[in-house]
A and B are shown apart, each in its own frame.
Chain A
Amino acid sequence: MVKPKSLAILILSAIVIASIFALSILSPTPTEKEKSLDISLPPVFEGIYQLGIVNASPVTVVVDYSLPEVPIEVTAYRVLKPRVDDVYAANMAQQLGFDGELVTLNPGETREVYTYINETHRLEIRLDGSILFAKDTSLQLPRSLPSEQDCITIAKRWLTAHNMYSENVAKVETEPYLMMDGNPIAIGVTFKVVIGGYEAHGLGIFVAVGESGEIVIVSRSLPQFEAYSSVKLKTVDAALGILKHYLTSPSPPPAENLECIINMRSFTRLTVQKITLQYFNNAGYLQPVYVFEGEAYDQYTSSVESFVGLVDAVNRTV
């Protein structure tokens, strides 16, 4: 006959063993093989959708650029989200020197953002740690806008004064931010950052400068991140094939498993003038994408526009 004490030990042991087994199934630790196959990485464009156009003409794609050499594999990174709560938001507002009132929630609402407002500006601290600082500028053509170079200087000076500049900035670009009837009201300055030698799409700091150097908007997205795994890359040729497929299909892209996003579809000829490997920030990860840039020509309107297309660069079939 089994003694009660022995029976209890037996049952306890069985429970412990069963728990260990269940945990090993429910939360497996990725093996080296799994990591190398990227099966735990979400699709690079997860949760993103390209609306698309029905009945658009097929696009002829001409590549006027040497296909770049790329490594066989690169590192994917995991974004480390800060714990954004009342204290974090208050400290951030104070750090930025913003004097304003926090927008309170109505009964039953869930907080989506921390917004501080004063008479002229709003500061949004998002739950992913990114920041938007904005003034609702009235639409009025400025008597004088600073030059693009001056806008860069003004933007950098403002960011530095407000502890928002980053030493990781590797590239600066300008273009009109807000236009009325084709005339610029504010000039946008984008401070881009580089990760592992590659530009990061969707990370950096954007500043728009208006009349007399007024800061119209600042958007900053510079999360912390850590190396997550190595991912094998598609060839540039394979990525180009995906881009061509998206540009010749008469139907809009499927809602699921997007491999490509483009900034325009209604034109007839694309001349690819630049192909780069970049990191794309989405769904908690920085994953590599091929970025195709060039000129989009529409034979029906004789217009030329700037084209940007992003293609998932991770080879997810190996």
Chain B
Amino acid sequence: MILTALSTPSIYLVYAWYEGVGLANDFGGVWWTDAQGFANIIDNYPNWNIYFLSNSPYPTWWKEESYGGMDNYMADYIQLSLILGHSADLGGGLIGVGFGTLGYTSPNAVRLGYMSPDNYGYAIWWFIIECSVFKDSSYPSWLYTLTGVHMLLGFKNDAVILSTDLRELANRLTGSGGYSNETVQYAFFHTYVDLDGTHNNNIARILAENTDVANNDKIDSFNSLTPVDATKIIITCSIGG
């Protein structure tokens, strides 16, 4: 399946969906347990498989080939990717996605989805569990990343998290552990924004291609070739203290 897809990118024959989970290499312990838990819960869902699960992911996995990346073989070969790490202040209000000691990527180098410059990509959702990547001065640059990928899901501000959050997110996405199967949008918001002390001050933010994907995308229900245009939407969720 992999070879077929790689050699014929214009033919979209999906026999299975793939997830990739990365934990920046300066995290360990309970965070790795949580990342593994997320990957396994999704993997147990019908038609989903782990494509990569790494505690030392590289920024090149999300970067376009023309920027020295290899996204066609990694983040843009799969439908769902997730990175948890410290973000990187790139100056001038721009926040990049960090990968621990292995560097970072700025938005300029990332184009995900079937309409990316090389016309190759399968990415549907990218969860970015890092701080302030989508702060007001930074998110406009990340909108250009939406070239077929439906949603980038991250934070406007500094996120405070629990070491069980990723598993809760996976449970909400798949309807496991007693949770009901939620849309991708609300699974993310309900996990990371809540009146529970920890998540009170989080401001979660989603950059989406359109309202249709935000309203309807579920882990087992999405349009692989959603129309891509110059208009994107920004959804922000917070409860404020």
Contact = CB atoms under 8 A, between A and B. Distances in A.
Do chains A and B interact in one complex? yes
Interface of A: 47-57, 103, 105-106, 109-115, 117, 122, 124, 130, 132, 134, 136, 138-140, 173, 175-182, 188, 190, 201-206, 219-221, 252, 255, 261-266, 280-282, 298, 300-301, 303, 305, 308
Interface in B189-219: 189-190, 194-198, 200-203, 211, 214-215
Interface string B214-241: 1100000000000000000111111111
B200 A262 contact: no
Contact residue range for chain B? 35 or more
B86 interface: yes
| Main DSSP-derived SS at the A contact region | strand
Interface of B: 27, 29, 31, 84-93, 95, 98, 104, 129-132, 135-137, 157-163, 168, 171, 175-180, 182-183, 186, 189-190, 194-198, 200-203, 211, 214-215, 233-241
Contact of A177 (B88, B90, B202, B237): B237
Nearest to B130: A51
Given A51-B130, A112-B168, A202-B198, A181 B88 contact: no
B238 A175 contact: yes
B182 A136 contact: yes
A300 B93 CA distance: 6
Contact of B236 (A47, A178, A264, A298): A178
A53 B158 contact: yes
A179 B178 contact: no
A206 B195 contact: yes
Nearest to A200: B197
A181 B211 contact: no
Contact of A178 (B131, B180, B235): B235
Contacts of A220: 195
Given A48-B162, A52-B86, A300 B91 contact: yes
Most buried by A among B162, B163, B233, B239: B239
B115 to A, nearest CB: 22
